[in-house]
Amino acid sequence: MPADNALLAAGAGFVLCGAAAFTLGPLVMRRLPEPILEDGDTKIRYAELAGEGVATKAAYWCGATAAVAGGLLGWTLGTSAGLAAWLMLAVVGSVLGYIDARTKYLPSAITWPSYGLVGLALAIGALATGDWGSLLRAVIAGAVAYGLFELLFTVVRRGVGYGDVRLSGLLGMALGWLGWGEVIVGLYAGFFVGAVNGVVLMVAKGYSRKDMLPFGPFMLLGALIGVLAGQPLVRLYLG
């Protein structure tokens, strides 16, 4: 069932997110500082992702994914207090997902400032509606998600990089504003989709673990699934 003013919000999300990611994606990539690599590690330079001849591809990819995500978020959330934060995250996520898929790095120069932008949008939403409970839940969920991924990174160190740890808190915070059902489904969906993709690639193309795609794009897709299907799935599970 669509949310209040769903058509208006979906249209705004589609247009605004698509245009913002199309414009800002290549611009940001050209200006990102390079990480300090460990001995023997190599990566594609961020600036090369938006260099001459490839900038259009990056712009269209970021713009298209952000537009689709923004439209779906608008349809689901309507003109609710959390919409602005999620539309920001759609733009940021499209750029981060593209960069991670190409370089296997999630630049902290994008992730850390996004905490401030999304957190500020949620705080303004709480101030406008008086829904301080949702803001508190968002903070707690962000801390829980960050702690969980920190534990996975420390204990398991397989398939999870520290860029994923940083991203987890941002996604947990945004999902937490909506509810614990969205948090659980959104985080779990990332692992599930990533695992399915890994199995398919290993069976179909003979990939090994070291050939797998980075986890960031799956985390972002999982978060979107959490928004779209979190509450219905929780209600279904609880009967």
The segments of the chain whose pLDDT lies below 70 read 1-2, 157-159, 205-212, 239
Residue reference for tokens 């909506």: 178
User: How many angstroms separate the CA atoms of 9 and 83, rounded?
Assistant: 8
Per the structure, how many domains does the chain have? 1
Q: Is 158 among the domain residues?
A: yes
Write the pLDDT tens digit of every residue in 58-83.
Answer: 999 999 999 999 999 999 999 999 99
Determine the pLDDT at residue 210.
Answer: 57
Q: Is 100 among the domain residues?
A: yes
Write the pLDDT tens digit of every residue in 4-30.
Answer: 789 999 999 999 999 999 999 999 999
Closest alpha carbon to 29 in 58, 52, 56, 57:
58
Distance of CA 160 to the CA centre of its chain: 15
Q: What is the pTM of this model?
A: 0.92
**Number of helical H runs and strand E runs in the chain:** 9, 0
- Domain residues for the domain of 141 are 6-238
What is the length of the chain?
239
Q: Is 234 among the domain residues?
A: yes
Q: Is 196 among the domain residues?
A: yes
Determine the pLDDT at residue 2.
Answer: 64
Determine the pLDDT at residue 205.
Answer: 66
User: How many angstroms separate the CA atoms of 173 and 183, rounded?
Assistant: 9
Q: Is 1 among the domain residues?
A: no
Q: Which amino acid is at 17?
A: C
